[in-house]
Amino acid sequence: MSNKLNYTKGQNVIIENNVMIGKNSILGHNVIIHKDTIIGKGVRIDDNAVIGKFPMLSKNSATTKKQDLKPCKIGDGSVIGTGAIVYRGAVIKKDVFIADLASIREDVVIGERTIIGKGTTIENKVSIGKFCKIQANVQIVPYSVIEDYVFISPGVITSNDKYAGRTKKRFKEYKGVTLKKGARLGVASVILPGVVIGKDAMVGGGSVVTKNVPSQKIFIGIPAKELKEVPKEQRLENQ
Per-residue pLDDT of 196-208, as tens digits, reads 999 999 999 999 9
Give the integer Cα–Cα distance in Å for 90 and 160: 20
Neighbours of 58 (CB within 10 A): 8
pLDDT tens sequence across 24-34: 999 999 999 99
Contact (Cβ atoms closer than 8 angstroms) between residue 52 and residue 33:
yes
pLDDT tens sequence across 140-166: 999 999 999 999 999 999 998 876 767
Give the integer Cα–Cα distance in Å for 218 and 1: 51
CA 180 to chain centre: 15
pLDDT tens sequence across 51-106: 999 998 776 766 566 778 999 999 999 999 999 999 999 999 999 999 999 999 99
On average, the pLDDT of the chain sits at: 94
Contact (Cβ atoms closer than 8 angstroms) between residue 163 and residue 156:
no
Neighbours of 233 (CB within 10 A): 7
In the chain the domains, ranked by start, together with CATH numbers, are 1-54+70-136 (2.160.10.10), 138-239 (2.160.10.10)
Is a pLDDT exceeding 50 seen at residue 3?
no
In residues, how long is the chain?
A: 239
- What is the pTM assigned to this prediction? 0.93
Give residue 221's pLDDT band: very low, low, confident or very high (50, 70, 90): very high
Q: Identify the CA nearest to 52 among candidates 82, 2, 86, 83.
A: 86
Q: What region does 236 belong to: left with phi over 0, alpha with psi -120 to 50, or beta?
A: alpha
